[in-house]
Chain A
Amino acid sequence: NAGVTQTPKFRVLKTGQSMTLLCAQDMNHEYMYWYRQDPGMGLRLIHYSVGEGTTAKGEVPDGYNVSRLKKQNFLLGLESAAPSQTSVYFCASSYAGGNSPLHFGNGTRLTVT
């Protein structure tokens, strides 16, 4: 029972490099999310998707892009990494919105030097 799987677990980038974080869920959930977690800031929503082929901006979308080509996958891209994007990134999924609980992956720790 994998749930939500994020890859990679750790990554170090240099300023200006690009990368893609992959999130996969096997629960047939409609909604998927990308959050970043920073000390003293809690979790902030970057982008989310309410179904295959759809994406929407969250609270802090600048510098990130996302794609949801398949229902089970949600990709987060950084086109030109900046030190301000050093963070722990969490993917989550839920069956629907409203009061459906979120299921989280174990996170990706990204450092941009």
Chain B
Amino acid sequence: GNSVTQMEGPVTLSEEAFLTINCTYTATGYPSLFWYVQYPGEGLQLLLKATKADDKGSNKGFEATYRKETTSFHLEKGSVQVSDSAVYFCALSIGGGSNYKLTFGKGTLLTVNP
């Protein structure tokens, strides 16, 4: 079956530090890959996505590249801010219509200290 594995947290960084959150996946077929972010007390919201191999998704200074050869979609940011403190979820989707499935990783809590 399809699955997503992301690094366990929590991750604690100082402001302006470099961030990497690892994500690897297992899927049959050709998935689309996503990063969602959940700020405290809110629902998830899409951060970025990539739909085919070698695509790079980017948003708000975050980036992730779809690596088919390593089945990975690691999230990076060069300089984190306190406002980036949140839970980050890696996810994949595959199929369509009534066979559509979106599978989430377990989430990684990021705390950025001033």
On B, residues with C-beta under 8 Å from A are: 32, 34, 36, 41-46, 49, 51, 89, 93, 95-98, 100-102, 104-107
Contacts and interface: CB of A to CB of B under 8 A. Distances in A.
Nearest to B101: A45
A99 to B, nearest CB: 4
A29 to B, nearest CB: 13
A43 B43 contact: no
Contact of B100 (A31, A42, A101, A104): A31
Interface stretch (A14-22, A64-72, A75-83, A90-98): A90-98
Contacts of B93: 97-99
25 contacts: A4-B43, A31-B100, A40-B106, A42-B89, A42-B104, A42-B105, A42-B106, A50-B100, A54-B98, A56-B98, A92-B43, A92-B44, A97-B93, A97-B95, A97-B96, A97-B100, A99-B32, A99-B51, A99-B93, A101-B34, A102-B102, A104-B43, A104-B44, A105-B43, A107-B43
A2 interface: no
Interface of A: 4, 31, 33, 40-43, 45, 48, 50, 54, 56, 90, 92, 96-99, 101-107
Given A42-B107, A99-B49, A106 B41 contact: yes
Given A42-B106, A90-B44, A98 B49 contact: no
A90 B44 CA distance: 9
Contacts of A48: 100
B48 to A, nearest CB: 10
